[in-house]
Structure 1
Amino acid sequence: MSDLIQIFAKAPLAGKVKTRLATDKGDEFALQIHHRLCETVVNMALDARVAEVEVWTTSDEACSYFESMGVACYVQQGQHLGTRMDFAIRHGLARHHKVVLIGADAPSIDGQYLADAFQALEKSSVVIGPAMDGGYVLVGATEPVSFLFRDMPWGTPEVMGFTLERLFTAGVGFHVLSERWDIDTLDDLKRHLPDWLNA
């Protein structure tokens, strides 16, 4: 296929995932939620059948877990989130015409949303899926866009605004999808996935 979905997911290790959720509910609960998020998002991407799917995780050891779901797995490269995203997208674009990167913490993304993202890349060089918290849940491109990932205040409400500002300044054609939510905190879980509180 000429299109590729990349899923960023941390290695499933207690104390290393969903740390804000763990503050309220403990490391083991946070790990269970992380597992459920990863499995939900990977299966959704595979079931969408709109592109090849691969996972980018944080350790070699974690790849067997993700490969057991039927996807290729790579280890993220770089010291910071921005450099890791840039590396993955460049790696994808060396093999595919269009690359869309999503996080494993955004189960609000569905197959239609992914299809819309790839459709947007038919006319625009970049597509962004904004998150309710001011970041984004999806970024896609048809060409390397390293400038989007340098010196970005990741994890803050300013990310989306800075991203759009950089795209305007660079004169790069882009499309913004509808807003989606992700899961970072206990409040997020209560609001969007209350059934998961009994995980």
Structure 2
Amino acid sequence: MITKTKNAVIVFQKNLVAGRVKTRLAKTLGNDEALEIYKSLIKTTYLEIGQLKDVDIFIYLSDYVEELPFDIKGKSYQILAQEGKDLGERMKNAFRDCFGKGYQKCIIIGTDCPEISTKDMQLAFDKLSYKDIIIGPAEDGGYYLLGLKKETPALFESINWSTAEVLSSTTHRAEGQNLSFEKLRTLNDIDTEKDWKLYNLKIKNEQLP
């Protein structure tokens, strides 16, 4: 059961079906290994979400299921299905739903960025107190987090999704709407085998004494 707060976390996630997740990883590692990597990315993301305080969590799947394979420890959440013909429309609709429920600040994240931390998400909520839009830039030219405090359809329309232009197009739209925005630190999504190897190397180096 969701306990309403003023803050909502929207998580966009694909259903765990081999061959339908992390397809660029699967090209070199195979469908089964790509699926296992995606599971680990979800678990890492959930661990960070679970440490947030005073938020409600909405998991938007590509296809609705009644139960998730992994829980967010200590948190309640609601499962919904993404609706829309492309990523922009699906995100726009998810924000619309959450603002329609009365939330004052909403952030959306995916499950492809294992470096995202509780601190990053909390910082986004904090910065929404004085900015209209908060963006977590990804190294590939997209973003791993977007925070809003009102519906802003222009950010999701006629964007070339899954390209290096997404971030610049989004900030350009914000400027065109006279909306203030601030960026968080830049992080890397896991899309390819190279991304995955670099991430694991970074983790290994951080664990060295």
Query: Quick check: 43-52 or 63-72, which moved more?
Result: 63-72
Unaligned runs of 5+ in 2: 204-209
Unaligned runs of 5+ in 1: none
AA at the equivalent of 1:65: L
The aligned runs of 1:16-165 (5 Å cut-off) are 16-61=20-65, 63-65=66-68, 68-69=71-72, 70-95=76-101, 96-165=103-172
Q: 3-state DSSP class of the match of 2:67?
A: helix
Query: Quick check: 171-180 or 79-88, which moved more?
Result: 171-180
Alpha carbons of structure 1 residues 19 and 45: separation in structure 2 relative to 1, 3 Å: same
8 Å CA contact retained: 1:127, 1:175? yes
Alpha carbons of structure 1 residues 87 and 186: separation in structure 2 relative to 1, 3 Å: same
Residue by residue over 1:42-67, the C-alpha shift from the partner in whole angstroms, topping out at 9 and shown as x without a partner, is 22101222522221111123x41257
Q: 3-state DSSP class of the match of 2:51?
A: helix
AA at the equivalent of 2:125: F
TM-superposed CA distance for 1:74, in Å, is 0.7
AA at the equivalent of 1:187: K
Q: 3-state DSSP class of the match of 1:107?
A: coil
Distance, in Å, in 2 between the alignment partners of 1:107 and 1:114 is 13
The match for 2:206 is: none
Q: 3-state DSSP class of the match of 1:59?
A: coil
Residue by residue over 1:9-50, the C-alpha shift from the partner in whole angstroms, topping out at 9 and shown as x without a partner, is 011100000000000000000111111111211221012225
TM-superposed CA distance for 1:101, in Å, is 0.2
RMSD of aligned alpha carbons: 1.6
TM-superposed CA distance for 1:2, in Å, is 0.6
Percent identity between matched residues is 30
Count of aligned residue pairs for this structure pair = 195
Structure 1 stretches of at least 4 aligned residues deviating more than 3 Å after TM superposition? 66-70
Distance, in Å, in 2 between the alignment partners of 1:68 and 1:177 is 27
TM-score, normalized by length of structure 2? 0.88
